[in-house]
Structure 1
Amino acid sequence: MTWWAPALVVGGLLAGYGAALRRRPAGLPAWPVARTVAWLLGALAVAVALSPPLAGLVHDDHRAHMAQHLLLAMYAPLVLVLAAPVELVLAALPRAGARRLAGALRSPVVRVVAHPVTAALLDVGVLFVLYLTPLLAATATRPWLHALVLVQMLLAGCLFTWAVLGQGPGPRRPRLAVRLAVLVAAAGAHAYLATLLYARAEIHAHHDAHAATMQQAALWMYYGGDVAEILLAVALLAAWYRRGARRRPAPAAAVAT
């Protein structure tokens, strides 16, 4: 991958977020700095994942491919979603445009696609197709297919993170217990896939020179996925706690005696 492709993607992320920030009405409360920092971190993760030094190794070194997968599909989506881009865009749009977007977010199609179960299938389920079929090998000879897989990883990761967190404008989300259950199930499926890839590499270790790097990549997938999923669970529970704290009534003032 040449330098201009990641530069174009990262530049678009930064320019789009910056433009939305500038278009927010002046009367609104200040946009939280933490959200802007989160977007910058997400853009940085995408930049590293698509950078020529890493992208140039993905077809020859399974560890490089797995690092790219973890960055694009798990870590970048987490911080990008925490940056609340949907809420920012709604605030930046004219009133008519904001109403249309809000209506689209509550549409039946978005309600189905953004359901945690659907999002998990599009995110983790597609990984089984990628790693257990000839699709991964095909990406090495078809640059357009490789680019499509990278885009799918990032978008599906963002969709899953958004569906699980349930923050900001969007369709009505399932209750916390359902979202936690889907997250646990998705984490289990991700760990199972990593274990399966490790076992397959071990079986072929005696005649495959790349088996050792395949096993290391599977370990990265297992443990790196665990860390990302724990961070997502922490973010989910922290958001739930904050919402509960806002709903709780303030304690009555003590009566002076």
Structure 2
Amino acid sequence: MHSNGHIHDNGTGFEPILLILFSLVIVIYIAAVVISNRRYKKWPLYRTFFWILGTICAASAIIGPLANRAHMDFTAHMVGHLLLGMIAPILLVLAAPITLALRTLDVQSARRLSKFLKSWPLRILSHPITASALNIGGLWILYTTGLYGLMHQNALLHALVHFHVFIAGYLFTASMIYMDPAPHRFSYMFRAIVFTISLAGHDILSKYIFAHPPSGVTKEQAENGGMLMYYAGDAIDVALICILCYKWFKATRPKGSLAM
């Protein structure tokens, strides 16, 4: 695959800034935990661990050796996709950042956040069908059109694609497993159906990539990337399925019969 030198060579100038931003994301979360612990019962340590690990996964897909190699190696790019669009969103959703924010903010700010969660734009974006379309549909557009080649020729487009991959992955995950307050909830059956269709769309796309390399990608790299997307993607989805089924099981159990 041919890499655009401008993005590859000069993009590293932003790495220190991005590293600081990712570090701030971790620091702010930990600071919120400290404040929350002073007011309420202790915030679960595993949620902080999920947040730190999720942030590291997202950062490694954007800055560092893997991100630099992704400009030249489609397999490395696919590893980045799995980290940024699948693993990081699951970990960050499990960290329940909205719940932590509501515990940390003052009453007025918490009310504004709660009002935002109930707003119609967020209701549309957080709908399982919308979130699935943004997530899987966006990937189909990326890999079956000339967008993949174009993003390596334009730094702004490159950043926007990565932003979309992460946000779409987060919205999809959050719409499947409600770890934070969700004013507009859907049944487990409905979410399971949408998830199954989404999983099929992801698997079909991985096979399409295997047979039809994206713009600028060699056949060998497309085959390796497609297989990685298929098998690793399914493994990650199994984890999400387990979480969804566990929460579904808990919801159908009599109260008090199953500990958290």
* TM-score, structure 1 normalization: 0.89
Q: How many residues align?
A: 245
2:238 counterpart residue number:
230
Report the 3-state secondary structure (helix = DSSP H, G, I; strand = E; otherwise coil) of the residue aligned with 1:59: coil
Deviation at residue 223 of structure 1 after TM alignment:
0.9
Could you tell me which amino acid in structure 2 is paired with residue 214 of structure 1? A
Selected match of 1:67 from 63, 67, 79: 79
Report the 3-state secondary structure (helix = DSSP H, G, I; strand = E; otherwise coil) of the residue aligned with 1:171: coil
Contact 2:30 2:48 in 1 (8 A): no
Deviation at residue 25 of structure 1 after TM alignment:
5.9
Task: Tell whether 2:100 aligns with 1:88.
Answer: yes
Task: Tell whether 2:39 aligns with 1:27.
Answer: yes
Instruction: Spell out the pairing of 1:13-52 with structure 2 (5 A cutoff).
Output: 13-24=25-36, 26-52=38-64
2:194 counterpart residue number:
182
Contact 2:86 2:169 in 1 (8 A): yes
Contact 2:135 2:169 in 1 (8 A): yes
Selected match of 1:171 from 151, 159, 183: 183
List per-residue Cα deviations over 1:14-69 (Å, max 9, x = no partner).
02212321332623111001111111110121122123211112221110110111
Any runs of at least 4 consecutive aligned residues in structure 1 with deviations exceeding 2 A, and if so which?
A: 239-245, 247-250
Report the 3-state secondary structure (helix = DSSP H, G, I; strand = E; otherwise coil) of the residue aligned with 1:232: helix
Instruction: Spell out the pairing of 1:86-235 with structure 2 (5 A cutoff).
Output: 86-201=98-213, 210-235=218-243
Deviation at residue 210 of structure 1 after TM alignment:
2.0
Contact 2:97 2:180 in 1 (8 A): no
**Is there any run of 5+ residues in structure 1 with no aligned partner, and where?**
251-257
> For the structure 1 residues 249 and 71, does the alpha-carbon distance in structure 2 shift closer, same or farther, using more than 3 Å as the test?
closer
**Comparing 10-19 with 214-223, which one deviates more in the overlay?**
10-19
Report the 3-state secondary structure (helix = DSSP H, G, I; strand = E; otherwise coil) of the residue aligned with 2:81: helix
1:253 counterpart residue number:
none
Identity of aligned residues (%): 33
**Is there any run of 5+ residues in structure 2 with no aligned partner, and where?**
1-10
Could you tell me which amino acid in structure 2 is paired with residue 12 of structure 1? L
The higher radius of gyration belongs to 1
List per-residue Cα deviations over 1:154-212 (Å, max 9, x = no partner).
1111111001102321222110001111111111000000111111149x9xxx98211
Contact 1:183 1:229 in 2 (8 A): no
* TM-score, structure 2 normalization: 0.88
> For the structure 1 residues 190 and 40, does the alpha-carbon distance in structure 2 shift closer, same or farther, using more than 3 Å as the test?
same
Could you tell me which amino acid in structure 2 is paired with residue 160 of structure 1? F
1:240 counterpart residue number:
248
**Comparing 49-58 with 126-135, which one deviates more in the overlay?**
49-58
